[in-house]
Structure 1
Amino acid sequence: MWSACLFRALFFLAHSIYTVFEYIHGAVDSVINALVAVCHEVLSPTEKNKQLQRELEKVNKTPVHLTVLLGHEEPSLKDLANLVLWCLATRISFISFYDYKGTLKKKEEEFRYEVDKKKSKADHVIWHSSLHSTYKNGFIGKKIHVKVLTEEDSKNSVASLTREISLGKDREFGIESVSHSLRKQFEFPDPDLGLVCGKTFSLYSYPPWQVRVTEFFTVKSVRSITFSSFVEDLVRYSNCDQRLGK
Structure 2
Amino acid sequence: MPTMIKKDDKTMDPPNEKPHKKIERDDIPESSNHIPPPEASVLRGGKMNSKTRAVKAVTSIIVDADEKPQKLSNKVDGAEKQEIGHWSSSIGKFEYLFYKFLLVMLYICFGLFRYGQYQYNKMKLRIFSIIYNHAYTPQLIRQDVVSLKKIPKRLAAILEIKPVGDVGGGVTGLLNDASEIVCWTVSAGIKHLVLYDYDGLLQRNVPELRKEIHSNLAKYFGPSHVPNYAVKIPHSNKTFYNLDGIESEADSGDVVNGNEEGSRIAVEVSLLSNRDGRETIVDLTKTMAELCSINELSVSDITMDLVDSELKQLVGPEPDLLLYFGPSLDLQGFPPWHIRLTEFYWERDNNEVIYSVFIRGLRQYAGCKVNVGK
Which TM bucket (shorter chain)? 0.7 to 0.9
Unpaired runs of 5+ in structure 1? Answer: 42-47
Look up the match of 2:354: 225
- Post-superposition Cα deviations, 1:93-112, rounded to whole Å, max 9, x if no partner, equal 11112212334434443322
Tell me: CA distance 1:245–1:225, structure 2 relative to 1, closer, same or farther (3 Å).
Answer: farther
Identity percentage of aligned residues: 21
- TM-fit CA distance, 1:90: 1.5
Look up the match of 1:199: 327
- TM-fit CA distance, 1:17: 1.8
Look up the match of 2:135: 40
Confirm or deny: 8 A CA contact 2:347 2:357 kept in the other structure. no
Tell me: CA distance 1:204–1:144, structure 2 relative to 1, closer, same or farther (3 Å).
Answer: same
Look up the match of 1:124: 228
Cα distance in 2 for partners of 1:114, 1:59 equals 29
Residue 21 in 1 paired to residue 116 in 2? Answer: yes
Confirm or deny: 8 A CA contact 1:122 1:142 kept in the other structure. no
Which of 88, 102, 118 is residue 7 of structure 1 equivalent to?
102
Unpaired runs of 5+ in structure 2? Answer: 1-94, 163-168, 242-255
Look up the match of 1:44: none
Cα distance in 1 for partners of 2:196, 2:341 equals 17
Which of 50, 70, 81 is residue 159 of structure 2 equivalent to?
70
Confirm or deny: 8 A CA contact 2:324 2:346 kept in the other structure. yes
Cα distance in 2 for partners of 1:67, 1:126 equals 15
Look up the match of 1:176: 305
Cα distance in 2 for partners of 1:53, 1:104 equals 27
- TM-fit CA distance, 1:62: 1.1
Cα distance in 1 for partners of 2:134, 2:140 equals 12
Look up the match of 2:209: 111
Look up the match of 1:83: 181
Tell me: CA distance 1:23–1:107, structure 2 relative to 1, closer, same or farther (3 Å).
Answer: farther
Tell me: CA distance 1:33–1:107, structure 2 relative to 1, closer, same or farther (3 Å).
Answer: farther
Tell me: CA distance 1:37–1:118, structure 2 relative to 1, closer, same or farther (3 Å).
Answer: farther
Cα distance in 2 for partners of 1:39, 1:182 equals 36
Equivalent residue of 1:194, what SS?
Answer: strand
Tell me: CA distance 1:139–1:150, structure 2 relative to 1, closer, same or farther (3 Å).
Answer: closer
- TM-fit CA distance, 1:229: 4.0
Q: Which residue identity is paired with 1:4?
A: Y
Q: Which residue identity is paired with 1:76?
A: L
Equivalent residue of 1:200, what SS?
Answer: coil
Cα distance in 1 for partners of 2:305, 2:155 equals 24
Report which of the two structures shows the higher radius of gyration computed on alpha carbons. Answer: 2
Cα distance in 2 for partners of 1:156, 1:72 equals 22
Cα distance in 1 for partners of 2:134, 2:345 equals 27
- TM-fit CA distance, 1:138: 6.3
Structure with more relative contact order (C-alpha pairs < 8 Å, separation 6 or more) = 1
Look up the match of 2:43: none
- TM-fit CA distance, 1:223: 2.1
Confirm or deny: 8 A CA contact 2:139 2:187 kept in the other structure. no
Confirm or deny: 8 A CA contact 1:93 1:144 kept in the other structure. yes
Cα distance in 1 for partners of 2:109, 2:202 equals 37
Residue 133 in 1 paired to residue 240 in 2? Answer: yes
Q: Which residue identity is paired with 2:338?
A: Q
Q: Which runs of 4+ in 1 moved over 4 A?
A: 22-39, 71-75, 138-142
- TM-fit CA distance, 1:21: 3.4
Confirm or deny: 8 A CA contact 1:76 1:222 kept in the other structure. no
Tell me: CA distance 1:118–1:50, structure 2 relative to 1, closer, same or farther (3 Å).
Answer: closer
CA RMSD of aligned residues (A): 3.3
Cα distance in 2 for partners of 1:39, 1:90 equals 11
Look up the match of 2:340: 212
Confirm or deny: 8 A CA contact 1:80 1:222 kept in the other structure. no
Confirm or deny: 8 A CA contact 1:71 1:204 kept in the other structure. no
Confirm or deny: 8 A CA contact 2:159 2:174 kept in the other structure. no
Look up the match of 2:273: 150
Confirm or deny: 8 A CA contact 1:58 1:235 kept in the other structure. no
